[in-house]
Amino acid sequence: DNATEQKAESNEVVINVTETGAFSLVAKNDDGIIGDNINENIEATPSSGSSVDFSHTLSNDGNISDTYTIYLFKPSDNLPVSVIIKYQIKEGTTNVGNSETIAIGGKITLKPGQTADITITATSNSDRVIGHNTSFMVIAASKYLTDKGQTTADKRATNTNNAITTTPVYAITKSATTNLNNKIFDTNNANAYVDYTITIKNEGNI
């Protein structure tokens, strides 16, 4: 009978949403392998005051907002004296807010799915010889995972930055003059000649 009220019963459906903290830090310099954990053999000039930019992307892969502390660690004694850390938060390819500058030990807060493009500008404090290596690590530490008591390996992500001094600083200039003190070379004059001069100047500090 279609006039009779129909009733249906089902089992109770319960959905549990669990907080998940997850993140990654990848090296982004064009060193042959982009997206690994090392910016390797990035070219640097030998003169004091020269700078190298190291690029990284920090990603919040969890489902909660998290704050990450950025540390630098030197495995040797050649960490540049001057280091500037800048970051730009993004949602996909769209910038969120303006680029910010933080000190070593500064913090970056990301919502789920957001990323931060990080640029670390390292400036040398002294002259360097060809082949000199500068190496230091950048570490991002998750507040959420730290508060949860996670191990160091789980609450931190580490990239290595490495620059090698390969390019001397110099300039080359060329000039030509004739013995007739003009710009015209007289091919009919058996005594005419041209002096070609190449000047190489060391513009570095070493």
pLDDT tens profile 89-103? 999 999 999 999 999
Task: Based on the fold, state whether residues 125 and 197 are members of the same structural domain.
Answer: no
Q: How confident is the model at residue 80 (pLDDT cuts 50, 70, 90)?
A: low
End-to-end CA distance of the chain: 101
Task: Based on the fold, state whether residues 133 and 81 are members of the same structural domain.
Answer: yes
Phi, psi at residue 26, to the nearest 5°?
-125, 150
Higher pLDDT, 115 or 7: 115
Burial class of residue 193 in the structure, from the number of CB atoms within 10 Å of its CB (0-12 exposed, 13-18 middle, 19+ buried): exposed
Is 188 domain-assigned?
yes
Give how many domains the chain has, as a whole number.
Answer: 2
Whether 119 and 54 have beta carbons less than 8 Å apart is answered as yes
Residue closest to 22 by CA, chosen among 131, 157, 134, 129: 157
For 44-53, write each residue's pLDDT tens digit. 877 777 889 9
Largest CA distance in the chain: 126
Q: What is the pLDDT of residue 79?
A: 55
Q: Determine if the pTM surpasses 0.85.
A: no
Task: Based on the fold, state whether residues 120 and 191 are members of the same structural domain.
Answer: no
Find the CATH number of the domain harbouring 62.
Answer: 2.60.40.2410
Upper half-sphere CA count for residue 81 (Cβ side, 13 Å): 7
Task: Based on the fold, state whether residues 186 and 121 are members of the same structural domain.
Answer: no
Burial class of residue 83 in the structure, from the number of CB atoms within 10 Å of its CB (0-12 exposed, 13-18 middle, 19+ buried): middle
Check whether 182 has a pLDDT greater than 60: yes
Q: Centre a 10 Å sphere on the Cβ of residue 7 and count the other Cβ atoms it contains.
A: 5
Is 107 domain-assigned?
yes
The mean predicted confidence, pLDDT, of the chain is 86
Residue closest to 73 by CA, chosen among 164, 160, 162: 160
Check whether 189 has a pLDDT greater than 70: yes
In the chain, the DSSP E strands lie at 23-27, 38-44, 51-60, 66-73, 82-91, 94-102, 107-110, 115-123, 133-142, 156-165, 170-178, 194-202
CA pair distance 162, 131, nearest whole angstrom? 12
For 142-160, write each residue's pLDDT tens digit. 999 999 999 988 999 999 9
Q: What is the pLDDT of residue 43?
A: 84
Whether 116 and 108 have beta carbons less than 8 Å apart is answered as yes
Is 9 domain-assigned?
no
CA pair distance 122, 120, nearest whole angstrom? 6
> What single-letter amino acid sits at 85?
I
Q: How confident is the model at residue 175 (pLDDT cuts 50, 70, 90)?
A: confident
For 190, the domain range is 170-202
Output the CA–CA distances (angstroms, integers) from residue 166 to 33, 114, 203, in the order listed.
Answer: 20, 36, 15
Is 18 domain-assigned?
no
